[in-house]
C-alpha cells in the first residue's frame, strides 16, 4: 500500500530562469599540464653536419611513441679521447713547454753554464754520433749538452787532481766494444777516469756507457746525474741494445765486491761475473781488458762495517782514515796518480747459453789479461802520488 503524503507537504518547485551571457562569471584559467619525455640524443655525426643539422630525439620504445625531429643549430665541440696517442701527448707536451716562461727552458741554463764549458770538451762531445729525440735525450737518458758540464769538471780532475796517464788506448777498436776493467776505490772514480780518457784521448772521441748497480741509480740527484752522462743500469737487455748501436760499454765484472775491497785485498781481483762474456759471445763483440792503477789508494778502507751498511741500505760502509771521522769531508778521495792500461782486444766464439764451466774458462782469459796489466802498472809506477 503506497504511502500517502499529508496535505500541504508537497515539495515546492521553483522556476529557474537561465542566465544571460552577461550575467555569467569567467571560469578560472586551466593550468597547462607538464609532460616529461625521456629521450636519448643521437650523435650529431650520425645525423648530419653543418650550422643547421637535424638533431633527432628518440623517445623510449612504446606503442604510441613518435619520432620528433627538431631543427636546431649544432655547436661544434672538441672531442678529447680518453687515451691520447703518442703523437697527441708529444704535441701537448710541446705546447705546455712553449707556454712556460723562458726562465724555465733549456736556454736559461745554457745562458748561465755554457760560458764555463771547456772548448775541447764541447768540440769532442759534438763529434760523438748520438741518437737523440727532439728534446736532446736518448732512450737511456743521455743528454750530451748536459754531459758537457760534468765532463768539463771531470777534465780538470783528470788532468790536475789525479793526473791520469793513459797507455794503449789505440787498442780500442771502432764500433761496438766491451771495456772490462778492475774495480776499486770505494767511490767509482775509476769509471769516471776511463770515460774521460775515452772522450779526450780516443780517436774518434766516444761517450762511454758505464754499467752501474741498480741501487746507485736510485739515489736522489746522483741517479739522474749519471744517466745524463751516459751510465745505464747493468741490465743485459740495455747493454745488448746499445751494442747494436755501436756503443762502447764499460763493465766492472767484480761489481761491489771490487769497489768495496779493504786495504789488505788491494789489487786482488775478486770473482768475475759471467754475464759480460755471454753478452760478448751473443753479439760478437770484442773485449778490451783494462788495468787501473791508483784507485785502491784514493780511499783506503780498513774495515767494512757491514751491520751499519745493512741498516742504511748500502752495499758496504768503509772505515777509512778520514771517514766517517771528518763527516762529508772524509768522503773526498786522495789525489793519487792514476795509470790506465788498455790491452789488446780479445775475441771469443761459441754458444752464449753454454754451461757455466765453459763460460768460466773464457772469463778466466780476460781476468788473466787484466791481472797482467795491473802487474805491469804496479811495476812501472814510481810513486802513489
Contact between residue 200 and residue 154 where contact means Cβ atoms under 8 Å apart: no
Q: Which residues on adjacent β-strands are paired with residue 340?
A: 166, 292
Given 3.30.1340, 2.160.20, 3.30.1380, 3.40.1130, which CATH number is that of 119-380?
3.40.1130
d(CA 38, CA 33): 16
pTM score, two decimals?
Answer: 0.70
Q: Which parts of 300-371 are beta strand (E)?
A: 303-304, 318-319, 339-342
Q: What is the mean pLDDT of residues 253-272?
A: 90
Give mean pLDDT, residues 185-199.
Answer: 92
Report phi then psi at 165, rounded to 5.
-115, 125
- pLDDT confidence of residue 95: 53
The 10s digit of each residue's pLDDT in 62-112 is: 444 444 444 444 444 444 454 557 666 666 655 544 333 333 345 566 778
What per-residue confidence (pLDDT) applies to 71?
A: 43
- Quote the CA–CA distance of 181 and 292 in Å, as a whole number: 7
Asked if pLDDT for residue 156 goes beyond 80, the answer is yes
Ordered by start, the domain boundaries in the chain are: 119-380
Amino acid at each position: 500500500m503506497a504511502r500517502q503524503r499529508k496535505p500541504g507537504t508537497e515539495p515546492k518547485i521553483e522556476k529557474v530562469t537561465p542566465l544571460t551571457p552577461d550575467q555569467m562569471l569567467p571560469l578560472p584559467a586551466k593550468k597547462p599540464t607538464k609532460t616529461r619525455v625521456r629521450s636519448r640524443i643521437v650523435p650529431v655525426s650520425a645525423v648530419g653536419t653543418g650550422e643547421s643539422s637535424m638533431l633527432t630525439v628518440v623517445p623510449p620504445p612504446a606503442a604510441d611513441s613518435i619520432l620528433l625531429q627538431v631543427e636546431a643549430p649544432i655547436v661544434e665541440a672538441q672531442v678529447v679521447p680518453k687515451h691520447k696517442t703518442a703523437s697527441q701527448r708529444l704535441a701537448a707536451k710541446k705546447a705546455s713547454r712553449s707556454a712556460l716562461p723562458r726562465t724555465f727552458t733549456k736556454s736559461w741554463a745554457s745562458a748561465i753554464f755554457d760560458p764555463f764549458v771547456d772548448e775541447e770538451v764541447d768540440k769532442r762531445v759534438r763529434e760523438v754520433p748520438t741518437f737523440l729525440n727532439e728534446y736532446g735525450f736518448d732512450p737511456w737518458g743521455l743528454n750530451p749538452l748536459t754531459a758537457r758540464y760534468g765532463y768539463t769538471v771531470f777534465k780538470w780532475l783528470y788532468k790536475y787532481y789525479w793526473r791520469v796517464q793513459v797507455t794503449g788506448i789505440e787498442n780500442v777498436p771502432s764500433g761496438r766494444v766491451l771495456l772490462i776493467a778492475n774495480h776499486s776505490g770505494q767511490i767509482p772514480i775509476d769509471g769516471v777516469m776511463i770515460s774521460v780518457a775515452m772522450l779526450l784521448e780516443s780517436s774518434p772521441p766516444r761517450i762511454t756507457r758505464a754499467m752501474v748497480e741498480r741501487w746507485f741509480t736510485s739515489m736522489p740527484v746522483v741517479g739522474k746525474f749519471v744517466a745524463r752522462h751516459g751510465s745505464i743500469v747493468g741490465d743485459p737487455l740495455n747493454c745488448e741494445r746499445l751494442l747494436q748501436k755501436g756503443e762502447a760499454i764499460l763493465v766492472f765484472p767484480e761489481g761491489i765486491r771490487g769497489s768495496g775491497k779493504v786495504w789488505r785485498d788491494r789489487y786482488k781481483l775478486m770473482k768475475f761475473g759471467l754475464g759480460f762474456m755471454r753478452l760478448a759471445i751473443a753479439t760478437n763483440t770484442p773485449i778490451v781488458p783494462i788495468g787501473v792503477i791508483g784507485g785502491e789508494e784514493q780511499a783506503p778502507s780498513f774495515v767494512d762495517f757491514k751491520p751499519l751498511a745493512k741498516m742504511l741500505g748500502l752495499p758496504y760502509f768503509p772505515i777509512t782514515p778520514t771517514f766517517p771521522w771528518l763527516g762529508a769531508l772524509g768522503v773526498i778521495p786522495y789525489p793519487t796518480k792514476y795509470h790506465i792500461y788498455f790491452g789488446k782486444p780479445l775475441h771469443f766464439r761459441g754458444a752464449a747459453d753454454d754451461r757455466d764451466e765453459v763460460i768460466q774458462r773464457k772469463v778466466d782469459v780476460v781476468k788473466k789479461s787484466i791481472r797482467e796489466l795491473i802487474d805491469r802498472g804496479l811495476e812501472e809506477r814510481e810513486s802513489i802520488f
